[in-house]
Structure 1
Amino acid sequence: MKDIEKNKEQLIAELKKLRTRMAELESCKPRGEQTDCNSKIIDDRRHQAMRLDVVSTLAGGIAHDFNNLLMGIQGNVSLMYLNTKPDHPNYKKLQSIEENIESGAEITRQILGFARGGKYHFKPVNLNEIVKKTVIMFGGSRREIRIKDEYQENLYRVRADQIQIEQVLFSLFTNAWEAMPDGGNIYIKTRDIVLNNNNIRPLGVPAGRYAQITVKDNGAGMDNATRQRVFEPYFTTKERGRGTGLGLAAAFGIIKGHGGMIEVESEKAKGTTVVFCLPALK
């Protein structure tokens, strides 16, 4: 893991240097009749842009493949948990493996985020497949949580950044899990919906077809004052050191960046429901 962290820092450092050089070149203003100088600046810009594109593509590809490997490892760890009791000598080793998996997944997210320069990598995706993949990774080792999922067949396909949507789901699952320290149920449902001019006004999205995902828990829930602040950056109800307050704020930004909407319904002692929708492909 130390070697991976070192390589990550080197890769990000290289991307930073390339972006800095590109910014310097973009700020150069050709003057007078300095034809040779101007030509060199243009060539240098083109060369640096090509290097940045190649390195970013390579970094994104490696990070994505590495993330898929981690998912495979997590799947096997989840299966091993099924036959391993907490008092077994290997139980703590499995927990250690899982912690390393989560650290590796965070590294891949950082690399992908920096490689894309804050931009999303959109492509047509099946949200059912993304949800199922995230459920397997999240739910396998949390025996106190029962995940009950329901998927609509032939769900509308959407144009989305798969890694970012996985991050949204992971944040929602984590919040639900933390709201149920003694165990409980997480309900996940996907379905197609159509929003018309009569029901879009409070949502701030255009009318049309959407793929909807609902994540519901039967945990502690929130009072109205807390619910109204859940999407604020750095707002958290967790004890100091337990959370950054960026999970739901990031989820809000990602869904809005995809042209979708996200809403939260909650009541004290009655659980929380989070619903988000992404526009379907035309």
Structure 2
Amino acid sequence: MTDGTARGMWQRFEPVHDLVYFAPEARRAADGLGMRGYWMGYFALRAAPLGPVAPCVVTSSFYVFHPARVTRALPDAWGYAGPAEVLTARQEAMDEAMTRLFGVEATRSGTFAEAADLAWEAAAAADTTGRVLAAANQALRRPGRATARLWQALTTLREHRGDGHVAVLVSLGIGPVEAMVLKAAAGESDGAFLRETRKWEPADWAAAEQALSERGFLTADGALTGEGAAVRALVERRTDEAAERPWRALGAERTARLAGLLEPLARAVGESGLLPPGNPVGLTVREAVGR
């Protein structure tokens, strides 16, 4: 059982991590490297810790993207910039984005450095066995700047949670499109937005809805049944349980301290308007702001 710590920390660190997807500095960094369009930049920036792996590896580890979405970006992206160059660019972009959003005084403060160090310690304690994205991020060198150190630590924690989430879905026989259908039915994201951005056809979505209906998880009009709601809750509970180790290692007192330091940062991101309604992360603006 979980006491809610892992979920509460995710709600605080996810918005800060998400700057790499939604902050204009990230797009400018990708464009500056020569990436062609948003998606090439997205896959290059997120997959760079893995090295120049084949598209099938990224498709597998990211889980919810149609293979065609990935192969339009990789491996072509590495012809414009290698993973090491991309990692440097994303670190610079996150420093710029966080400095703009949180302010120079805040990002250069002792409390910001404290948050970065606490987050780094938690990320270093994460068990990355069977968690490919988390392991690749955890292996990166510790940045000297507090902005880069905080963002990278939170990203390791985020991918650690995400890898665990994928493992839960696989264990329950819930495929990529079915996972998105359940997320949308639970009201966590916009279904059309998920389908279109992950490049699945309407027929793929319909087939997933049919499969979930046959399992008793969806009603005829696409709403969650009682059993479907229970399965969705099970997925989230097991995801939380799989994400607890970093916080147990950090300890209750220091975890609470980090939570308090992250709250204003999460709130600033939520209030910035950068997180679009129905975003695919599964974190509502209200969750990011309303604490």
TM class by shorter-chain length? Answer: under 0.3
Q: Which has the larger radius of gyration?
A: 1
**Bigger relative contact order, structure 1 or 2, given CA contacts below 8 A and separation 6+?**
2
Looking at secondary structure, tell me which structure has more helix per residue. Answer: 2
More strand by share: 1
Q: Normalization by structure 1: what TM-score?
A: 0.22
